[in-house]
Each structure stands twice: as C-alpha cells, then as structure tokens.
Structure 1
Amino acid sequence: MYFEWKDEYKLGVEEIDLQHKKLLGIGRKLMTLIRTTDILDKSEEVSEILNQLRNYTIEHFSKEEQFMQEKGYPDLTSHAMEHEYLRRKMRQIDDLDIHNQDTIIKLVSFVSDWISQHILISDMKFRNYILSPREK
C-alpha cells in the first residue's frame, strides 16, 4: 500500500516521526482519491492535495535539515542533495496534466516509493548517528 506508515520507519525522534506520518497521510489521501474516483470529476481536489503534498514535503525537508544541522550530522550535505532531488520533482506538479490519471498515479507512486526508500536508508543513517555514543 502506498504512503502507509510502518514501524520500521520510526526514527525515535518524535518531531520527525510525526512529520513523516503527516507526509504519508497526505500522500495516502491523494492516492485513495485518484484510485477510487474519476480524476476529471475531482481535478480541483486532486490539485489541492498535490499542492499540499508538495508544500509539506518541502517544509518537512527544511525542518529535517535544520534538525540535522543542530545535531552536527556529518552527512547533511549528501542528505540535503537527496532532498533537493525530490524538491525538484515536486516543483513539476504545476506542469502536470491534472486530468491525466495515469500521469498523476505514476507521479504519486514514484513519490511514495522515493519517500519510503529515503526513510529506510538515508533517514536511518541519521538515526544511527544520533543514537551512537560520541565523544564530547
């Protein structure tokens, strides 16, 4: 299932975990809408939720990067580059044909897969960093 929260996504940083859950919730709402209704009948609602997904993704990435900076995360630059890749993809939302259900489903599926993999790989590296004992 797309945009489904799984316990394996849990970083143990409440603020980030809550942001991930909210992000996945927005995506799940969008995927449910485009899979269960004719997109032509709901294009305004689809557009609104796509914008929510884009805006919250960008907001979350900024907050996550700020948190990583505060914690002195040494891989912040490469992590932020991954974020920038999805930011660029999300900015393309305005150029999409909102009436083409296949295009929207492909984008939303891509974003869901990307977010899941990013949490499981890159965000988990950060979790391991903040949980590892460091000399002060």
Structure 2
Amino acid sequence: MIHDKDYIMRIVKQFSELLATMMLGKNEGELNDEQTLFETQMRNAFKMDFDELAGKSAAEMAQWVEAKDKSHQIGYYELLGNLFYYKFTIDPNIGFALKAQTFYEKWLQESQIFSLPVMSKLAELKKFADSNNGVDV
C-alpha cells in the first residue's frame, strides 16, 4: 500500500514538473513528443484525457481530489492549478482561468505555503477573469 501511494505521488510530481518545463519553454523536445508525453501523463494521473477532465466542473474535480488520501490532496491541487494555467496560456479562456484560480487557491489554503510565482499567476488569472466578467466554473 505504501508503494502505491509513493507511485501516485511520483506520477503527480512528474506531471507537475512536465507542465512547469512546458510553461517555461525549456523543453527542447519535438512538439509531437511533448504532446505524447502530456497525454501519457494525463492518463497516468487522472485516468482520462484533458477534454474529459476539462468537461467537469471545478466542484466535481475538488470532490474527486478530496476523496483521495489526505497526503495526496495538496499535490493534486497544485497539479490541477498548473494544468489549467498551462492550458490557459495556450488558449486564454475564462473556464481555464477560473479553474486554475480555484485550484491554486485550494493549494495555497491546504499547503499553507506562500509562493510568489503562484501569487503572480493568481493576479494574472484574476485580472483576466475580471476583464471577462467571470462566470462560475
């Protein structure tokens, strides 16, 4: 059982790291390789593709995370925040912005960590949402 939990957290951490490198543009791989790696990591972490996950409301995703082991929840909130922020940077739409904002706020609340990069992202997301008259996620 301990090995299963370690494996899950390793998958979540690897996916977060992949998203971070993709957001920073530091990955020197081919675009097709990046997409394949992204899709593989999505399936490993969430057992579904991004479109299926994005079709769920933030409340449904939060409920799914809260059903996980308490020690995994912080990692999943961070991953979901990074995932929707990454998608927002590619396709700036209000749904991605609000979901990223929701999960970053949950991550800050649960982890009790102050992070300037996350605060900066939250400010950017809030500004975008305010300028687009945000709707509920």
Q: TM-score range by the shorter chain?
A: 0.3 to 0.5
Mark the structure with the bigger radius of gyration.
Answer: 1
Give me the TM-score of the superposition, normalised by structure 1.
Answer: 0.33
Give me the TM-score of the superposition, normalised by structure 2.
Answer: 0.33
